[in-house]
Structure 1
């Protein structure tokens, strides 16, 4: 068994092996932990009293933070010197996790709206035309009435007229609890009460409005309506005013939602690159098994590349939701030469909501020698254009550099700002560099600005001070911020997508009442509302995973903006954009809900059985077909860390059916064998993510096709690079006299004068990350080094490209003296290292392997030392 301690370095998760319990890593996207706080899961048959007796018998001094019932365990604050490793050894303990601190994205105190006044732009404010919700609401009058929805978030401003205006019996917001209190941000101590009102953050109120707000009769700027405007809400406030919460607080909110009878809970939260074995995902699955549907955000790490889907939705029965951009959006804008208004997306590192440059700052396009627009990645075009003190127009091609790279070059050249023309289409989210105004505009805007400049080099560039609604290039396509899958075992996540980019909803009354926001946090409640409509329509016939299957069957695969003949990869969008109309009208169920092909080694090449069930009243003939998706290339050119933005290509699998047509009587099920063959194109060493859909189309007018997404990775995943050797990781450094020293080969370690530190940077999931000593002559394993967290090993997700402060993410571990563990069992005591010549190695187990050392590990030498 394995367990983990947590590192408060640049990222937060290490794992340590235990013969008893399992202490699981803190999530990499949320590195803060509550010092000395742990979540303990008990063995079956162990209750709280027995567990407390076991803890007391080991002289553990602690305070109970919370007790769980559905999840058999508790969270405690340890006051004695006991570590998580110590807790995991106690009889009756199954697993132990450190308590993490989760943080919501910053919410504006006053959300500025540039709301439309004309009918065309008003229509853009609603995403319901994209999903068929408008048809269902108008035709069938389904409203979600009678369905209870729990929102585990920052609370709900129940005083909002679009959310009912009150709290308690007879109100829309009927249930709930505040688990954090008003002083959590300053004290870190949760002191909740019975009032779950959101009046200082806004996130939960925005989520609630998407699910079931109704602003049609309350004098709102736009009379919008949520997906299911008559659901009953439960508000479980687990985030503070600054958006902070902790794992155990979130779990308490989830359990109370279940205990108060919620049919569905919304989890617009989580962190990226985790394994399925995390407390939020495990509790979500337990709640599903007891009848409550859990739907969670896939995450907003789309600019990080592969393996970044968020932890809360990783459970096999939980729905993980990706985002599509709304067809319209709310943006600040610019004009040039008195021309059209062009919306822009501002660089996240700039630190301001909008650009505030004076109109007398000139604009100049950067051109290559052939006259084409430059990408701004090299200094020569800046010099040629005399760009100092000017705003430069560049092409957003990312083959040579990204926004941070071109921003650094622009700053060095003295440019005043940068406008990036998106290629091929759409508005791109850009990171940029701190304190430098950079924006992206859509491709057509770039063309118009360049044409206007060629007519008049002295034209004026102006920046708006307010927002407006715009129909944008790329609307209706997968959001670039939406996280990529897969998980660590190549399970397909996310499951489905919904509108999440530029979504109008409610906001706390004292913060402006209405806001337009973006994120998978906005897509998730859309799917929750869709489930409420389905439950309303089918009463209790469909629930949980069965409902998810209907939505995945009837989702519509989306394309990237621009000239893309095939839909976007399944690892980006799941089954596709939810279509509520089709889900409620379909008379077909296509099983399974997804086909996971893993990698080329584990892909058997044998046929897969799919089943078509006719739940209608008439016999139906189905035609079986195959729909390709584009492939995502994350490892082009031998890079050891996944590309931040994958290359999109067309590596297609081929599919054959045992029968291309089947006839199914009402109430009956037919089985078909599907033979999937690996793509002929695409290099194994680049590990392309290939995918597509198996489609069953009923015969007849207005027939609704049903689809099963499939996905896999071409190549041997055991050869996927884990450590980012391109960045110099892993490495061993010596801290001596406050300075960092590179050890020479054969260096004799002196632990009285120096501290060895191993630096690691993980580019993909590894089931077991270990730091070892091997014999320098034979290469035989000698032992595991003793770290500040004891023995080291276990599941580990990948690092982000950069941490929240813009630094390269890395993991640092100290070797605590000349001692080792002979094996991976921390119940054994460490021993002194015998004098000799050794190699220090970092050994990272490859995914989908058995864990035999060294055959199943990426083994990298970081030092040659003597002791």
Structure 2
């Protein structure tokens, strides 16, 4: 068992200067933080007793929520009027953060009608099937901690060999879940008091599914519940730790996550999996700081990249932003099991609508003929307009429609067709894949892949009398869009232009265990599923090497040997900002004869370009090997092609490729030796620097021995001056002023000479960040004297300064995402102030100023400044 005690062993020392209050690293507001609750980190030479004594000396009344040893700090609830800045002013305190709330990423029901054969076939994508068969590795002897919603440890997927169900017992015989703790209780939602106990049973489902991917095993279980076809996880004999940090519903706090991380470490976990969702941010958050300490002491941490792929670049989640932690992107499963429809000799998988039933086959008679709904030009229509059917006899037929959902959904077009008496609808998905259609009751409705639809249309035009046939059983197929980076997986980079995510794993359409009370098995999608796949792969590596390397060393092996991948239908490699080093290739990682470091290269922007880099290739094989150096460019991502100031939700792909040269194009390395190579980068000649394209690619070392895997290092850079990248969304008129009324309603400012009132008509500043800022501020200036009075302070957001992540494009309700500061006259007079100051009636200038990235922070030269003008306040 690894136990590191730091605080209790420290002696009293001279206290150092006051610390820093990080009001928000993610731009989260009060709804995403616990009121009056903080994480405190002490300076390294400050003991726990010393720190508490000083808090009391400063008359701070508080209650301890959690004490930490490795992190060297505590979580507290403050009962006095002191805020975070007041805590930071206490001698011995290094950092203070509000307790932020986290969820697990919204898991997505699989798009395809699948069975458990999908879980088996997913191992073909990564070489895990070969590792199981040829190397006989199972993860035995390796401990993996699941920090999540718990585990249904009685599920047969977690049973020991020969047992009929799983169990949980720290010292019990043959219990695969040997460690764990429930930090919160069933009823915990983040807004109530945790009620911890020793039983980490999962009542949500997320944690059980995650654990099943790491190391579930149904191959030898004959009793119910069982899947249709046996399946197996990546490392089916790992030992689990189940650290439950969520109730049956709701979110959890940073304080609980930190406690779970420390317990997992002290329980001897070799790897911890954190499929948790946080906002895009900088790396100065408590989880990253503790994570780096744990990794330095031999643990490995895997965190998910997030499911915000539809929001554009720089939306990577903050869970694994530490330099040594691993942020995992998601790839769609290449395989699926589906019922099929045959036509003119071809067989095509289909996905039934939700209303029809996800596992219900379609069985229409041969008399239900195909009827493509063409317009006069022969183009397939979407069926959204009843007029498109004018004069057409579709009764009893299967109508083929365009599956484009931009004009109307499946319900609208389904009701139109149903009213005309059709036998069914087949919708051809765009641009590819199979869409999950809602459908309407009692109407046969399903989606087809784009390629299937095209083939059916071509056959129909040759012979319209071909008959549709419907299979009675499922078939395993390679699905359209599978094996490529998932659309929903978040893009990097982070706020410092660092390369995140690190690597990709299978996460789209993954079959795994689920709580017995919820059906026992589920097919789900998300980076939550990709992350445990990576964690399980690391367990196989630990078992093979019989070593417990630090997280960054193991990460390097898997990044070096990943499969560099393309987006579906593309001839070029996907951006490093999307796939990291590529799709994990476990066979290559476990059989490679070379390693290369570092495992990534961050070139930054044109102004700060790190054009000269050095890599080290080490021959870990048994014989001398010759390696050839080469460069594989990847897609450049342009988010500002139209002069827009808010990034495109879907970046435009460009062929902006860097020029790369090597000090030696070929090197001969004896076994056990290393060689250093200087790599020189030149920015892409193509690409408009004013549009800030993110370019990337891979430096590759290929061994001469046939069959030996090559190794590579991903790099990423930004063409242009990132300090000129727009931060605020001025295209939509932000920042702007509005009025918050006494009842909380926000309205436009009625007139140009409107007089605000702090109580009934509060001036409200609305901001929308299209990019991270190291210091996002809202400043209040005395209109007459031009004196700086302080930063806007609100009960909702706190003081308006500090690092902030970018906004999403749209919020959960489909509206433009923005932040509203309803200012009622309180200001934070300085960054190191300890409490807000209330201003009275007067004339004030409101200035929104955001520090530009990679600048020193000199005000106003290094800030994007917006003066919202003078506001008159009566009270």
Q: TM-score, normalised by structure 2?
A: 0.84
Aligned partner of 1:704 in structure 2 is 709
Pairing partner for 1:561 from 557, 568, 573:
568
Structure 1 unmatched runs, 5+: 1-17, 117-121, 397-402
1:603-614 equivalences in 2 (<5 Å): 603-605=609-611, 607-614=612-619
Pairing partner for 2:542 from 535, 540, 544:
535
Whether 1:212 aligns to 2:215 is yes
**Matched residue SS, 2:125:** helix
Pairing partner for 1:498 from 498, 505, 526:
505
Deviation at 1:391, TM superposition (A): 8.6
Whether 1:150 aligns to 2:145 is yes
After TM superposition, the structure 1 stretch with the greater mean CA deviation from structure 2, 51-60 or 615-624, is: 51-60
Call closer, same or farther: CA 1:214–1:595 in 2, change over 3 Å: same
Call closer, same or farther: CA 1:137–1:412 in 2, change over 3 Å: closer
**Matched residue SS, 1:708:** strand
1:295-444 equivalences in 2 (<5 Å): 295-329=302-336, 342-344=349-351, 371-373=378-380, 393-394=401-402, 396=404, 406-407=407-408, 421-427=428-434, 441-444=448-451
Query: Could you tell me how far apart the structure 2 residues matched to 1:863 and 1:252 are?
Result: 46
Deviation at 1:383, TM superposition (A): 5.7
Query: Could you tell me how far apart the structure 1 residues matched to 2:438 and 2:719 are?
Result: 31
Aligned partner of 2:102 in structure 1 is 102
CA contact (8 A) 1:26 1:100 kept: no
Deviation at 1:654, TM superposition (A): 1.2
**Matched residue SS, 2:713:** strand
1:670-749 equivalences in 2 (<5 Å): 670-736=675-741, 740-742=747-749, 744-745=751-752, 747-749=754-756
Aligned partner of 2:600 in structure 1 is 594
Aligned partner of 2:246 in structure 1 is 239
Aligned partner of 2:591 in structure 1 is 585
Deviation at 1:252, TM superposition (A): 1.2
CA RMSD, Structure 1 to Structure 2 (Å): 4.2
Aligned partner of 2:69 in structure 1 is 69
After TM superposition, the structure 1 stretch with the greater mean CA deviation from structure 2, 387-396 or 473-482, is: 387-396
1:462-861 equivalences in 2 (<5 Å): 470-540=477-547, 542-562=549-569, 564-605=570-611, 607-736=612-741, 740-742=747-749, 744-745=751-752, 747-751=754-758, 754-773=761-780, 784-788=791-795, 791-817=799-825, 823-827=830-834, 830=837, 839-861=845-867
Query: Could you tell me how far apart the structure 2 residues matched to 1:494 and 1:333 are?
Result: 36
Call closer, same or farther: CA 1:491–1:54 in 2, change over 3 Å: same
Deviation at 1:28, TM superposition (A): 5.6
CA contact (8 A) 1:784 1:822 kept: yes
Query: Could you tell me how far apart the structure 2 residues matched to 1:460 and 1:64 are?
Result: 72
Query: Could you tell me how far apart the structure 2 residues matched to 1:188 and 1:808 are?
Result: 30
Call closer, same or farther: CA 1:413–1:526 in 2, change over 3 Å: closer
Residues 682-729 of structure 1 deviation map (CA, whole Å, 9 limit, x = unaligned): 111222111111011111221221101111111111111111122222
After TM superposition, the structure 1 stretch with the greater mean CA deviation from structure 2, 640-649 or 326-335, is: 326-335
Call closer, same or farther: CA 1:695–1:84 in 2, change over 3 Å: same
CA contact (8 A) 2:86 2:834 kept: no
Call closer, same or farther: CA 1:79–1:468 in 2, change over 3 Å: farther
Query: Could you tell me how far apart the structure 1 residues matched to 2:321 and 2:586 are?
Result: 23
Pairing partner for 2:184 from 180, 186, 192:
180
Residues 735-761 of structure 1 deviation map (CA, whole Å, 9 limit, x = unaligned): 357662326446554546521000111
Pairing partner for 1:223 from 227, 230, 243:
230
Aligned partner of 1:22 in structure 2 is 21
Call closer, same or farther: CA 1:340–1:316 in 2, change over 3 Å: same
Deviation at 1:150, TM superposition (A): 0.8
Query: Could you tell me how far apart the structure 2 residues matched to 1:826 and 1:63 are?
Result: 22
Call closer, same or farther: CA 1:487–1:535 in 2, change over 3 Å: same
Query: Could you tell me how far apart the structure 2 residues matched to 1:334 and 1:248 are?
Result: 53
Query: Could you tell me how far apart the structure 2 residues matched to 1:302 and 1:56 are?
Result: 47
Query: Could you tell me how far apart the structure 1 residues matched to 2:799 and 2:707 are?
Result: 62
Query: Could you tell me how far apart the structure 1 residues matched to 2:177 and 2:236 are?
Result: 12
Query: Could you tell me how far apart the structure 1 residues matched to 2:733 and 2:447 are?
Result: 32
Call closer, same or farther: CA 1:463–1:86 in 2, change over 3 Å: farther
CA contact (8 A) 1:334 1:344 kept: no
Query: Could you tell me how far apart the structure 1 residues matched to 2:698 and 2:765 are?
Result: 44
**Matched residue SS, 2:552:** helix
Q: Size of the alignment, in residue pairs?
A: 826
After TM superposition, the structure 1 stretch with the greater mean CA deviation from structure 2, 703-712 or 52-61, is: 52-61
Deviation at 1:460, TM superposition (A): 12
Query: Could you tell me how far apart the structure 2 residues matched to 1:497 and 1:635 are?
Result: 26
**Matched residue SS, 2:265:** helix
CA contact (8 A) 1:641 1:763 kept: yes
Residues 594-626 of structure 1 deviation map (CA, whole Å, 9 limit, x = unaligned): 111111111143x21111111222221111111
Deviation at 1:484, TM superposition (A): 0.5
After TM superposition, the structure 1 stretch with the greater mean CA deviation from structure 2, 36-45 or 478-487, is: 36-45
**Matched residue SS, 1:816:** coil
CA contact (8 A) 2:190 2:253 kept: no
Query: Could you tell me how far apart the structure 2 residues matched to 1:782 and 1:366 are?
Result: 67
Deviation at 1:305, TM superposition (A): 1.0
**Matched residue SS, 1:312:** helix
CA contact (8 A) 2:400 2:428 kept: no
CA contact (8 A) 2:602 2:715 kept: yes
Residues 741-786 of structure 1 deviation map (CA, whole Å, 9 limit, x = unaligned): 3264465545465210001111111111111246889999675445
Residues 446-466 of structure 1 deviation map (CA, whole Å, 9 limit, x = unaligned): 325655887999999999999
Query: Could you tell me how far apart the structure 2 residues matched to 1:363 and 1:858 are?
Result: 59
**Matched residue SS, 2:823:** strand
CA contact (8 A) 1:126 1:504 kept: no
Aligned partner of 1:862 in structure 2 is 868
Query: Could you tell me how far apart the structure 2 residues matched to 1:714 and 1:428 are?
Result: 36
Whether 1:250 aligns to 2:254 is no
Residues 315-351 of structure 1 deviation map (CA, whole Å, 9 limit, x = unaligned): 000011111111113679899999955434989xx99
CA contact (8 A) 2:217 2:236 kept: yes
Call closer, same or farther: CA 1:667–1:218 in 2, change over 3 Å: same
Call closer, same or farther: CA 1:77–1:556 in 2, change over 3 Å: same
Structure 2 unmatched runs, 5+: 1-16, 160-165, 419-424
CA contact (8 A) 1:555 1:579 kept: yes
CA contact (8 A) 1:29 1:273 kept: no
**Matched residue SS, 2:824:** strand
Residues 187-220 of structure 1 deviation map (CA, whole Å, 9 limit, x = unaligned): 732112111122x222212211211222111034
Query: Could you tell me how far apart the structure 1 residues matched to 2:468 and 2:479 are?
Result: 20
Aligned partner of 2:158 in structure 1 is 163
**Matched residue SS, 2:263:** helix
Residues 797-853 of structure 1 deviation map (CA, whole Å, 9 limit, x = unaligned): 011122223232110112222x756654425974858966x6422111111111122
Residues 532-582 of structure 1 deviation map (CA, whole Å, 9 limit, x = unaligned): 1111111226331111111111111111111x2211101100000111111
Query: Could you tell me how far apart the structure 2 residues matched to 1:355 and 1:712 are?
Result: 49
Aligned partner of 2:199 in structure 1 is 195
Query: Could you tell me how far apart the structure 2 residues matched to 1:304 and 1:536 are?
Result: 39
